[in-house]
């Protein structure tokens, strides 16, 4: 116990042997419950092995090899950091925490820089976590949705009492007009993105954080993409799937 180090997360850090033991126990639990999703948040804590990035890869490799054949290659993963030798066992790195500011401020630059890394390493693009709360505006949501369309990326939307997941998820009551508009906007943008409605020629503009757009549904499988900042003429886009 004297060799274990504590840190602000209030957990014990490991040496190499204990790293392997924790990883194997985690895999055993997943095998028992047939768990198909896991987040390696704080994976960089394995620097405590004294082995640098190898210590982090050691953890994920040990976990992966201890999975049952039925699970190996079929578990959705996420992690706070992407390390060498984890790409073969990782399905995505949905990094980006929402606690430090609104949609546009919370580690936004790092989130978008990560998309280049994901593309270079053939990993699915993911934009991280975003907190949906009473301060969120429709313009914020469409700003995010435009970036998701531009990068072809998914993201996680977080809802909780205090924004830090320390309390139960807020009970869903009757939605007001603002909440309905926000959820409808997410639905329309995602429907268009998942149906490949955004041409490649539009992607650079949709990736530009200084530009804003509004998406208007015309009919099923067809939308108008309206530049808001700077303002411009609407462009008709259509589903290219099915």
DSSP β-bridge partners for residue 154: 126
**Spatial distance between the Cα atoms of 99 and 129, rounded to a whole number of angstroms:** 9
Which sign does the torsion angle of CA 60, 63, 69, 74 carry?
negative
Q: What gap in Å lies between CA 65 and CA 89, rounded to an integer? A: 10
Handedness of CA 10, 16, 17, 19 (dihedral sign): positive
Strand partners, 126: 154
93, 79 contact by CB (below 8 A): yes
pTM over 0.85: no
Q: Which of 203, 239, 240, 230 is nearest to 115 (CA)?
A: 203
Q: Are 49 and 57 in contact (CB under 8 A)?
A: no
Q: Across-strand partners of 156?
A: 129
Tell me how far the alpha carbon of residue 1 is from its chain's centroid.
Answer: 35
Q: Alpha-carbon distance 26 to 106, whole Å?
A: 30
What pLDDT sits at residue 165? 46
Residue whose structure tokens are 């505006």: 137
Q: Which residues contact 169 (CB under 8 A, 6 or more apart)?
A: 159, 160, 161
Element (H, E) at 229: strand 222-229
How large is the angle between the packed helices 138-151 and 177-194, nearest 10 degrees?
Answer: 10
Reported as a single tens digit per residue, the pLDDT across 189-225 is: 999 999 999 999 999 999 999 999 999 999 999 999 9
Q: Using one digit for the tens of pLDDT, what is the confidence trace for 23-82?
A: 999 999 999 999 999 988 888 889 989 999 999 999 999 999 999 999 998 999 888 787
How far apart are alpha carbons 216 and 142 in whole angstroms? 11
Lowest mean pLDDT: which of 101-105, 156-160, 235-239? 156-160
């Amino acid at each position: 116990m004297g060799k274990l180090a504590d840190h602000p997360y209030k957990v014990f850090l490991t040496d190499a042997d204990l790293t392997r033991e924790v990883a194997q126990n985690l895999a055993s639990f997943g095998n028992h419950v047939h768990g198909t999703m896991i987040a390696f948040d704080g994976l960089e804590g394995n620097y405590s092995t004294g082995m640098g990035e190898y210590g982090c890869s050691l953890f994920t490799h040990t976990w992966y090899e201890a999975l049952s054949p039925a699970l190996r290659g079929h578990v959705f993963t996420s992690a706070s950091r992407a390390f060498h030798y984890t790409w073969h066992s990782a399905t995505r790195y949905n990094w980006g925490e929402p606690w430090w500011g609104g949609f546009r401020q919370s580690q936004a630059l790092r989130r978008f820089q990560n998309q280049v890394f994901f593309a270079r390493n053939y990993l699915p693009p993911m934009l991280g976590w975003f907190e949906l709360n009473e301060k969120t505006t429709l313009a914020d949501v469409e700003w995010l949705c435009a970036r998701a369309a531009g990068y072809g990326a998914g993201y996680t939307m977080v809802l909780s009492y205090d924004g830090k997941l320390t309390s139960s998820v807020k009970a869903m009551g009757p939605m007001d007009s603002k909440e309905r508009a926000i959820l409808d906007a997410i639905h329309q943008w995602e429907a268009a993105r998942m149906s490949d409605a955004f041409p490649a020629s539009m992607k650079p503009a949709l990736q530009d954080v200084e530009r804003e757009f509004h998406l208007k549904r015309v009919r099923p499988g067809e939308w108008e993409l309206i530049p808001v900042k700077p303002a411009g003429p609407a462009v008709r886009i259509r589903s290219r799937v099915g």
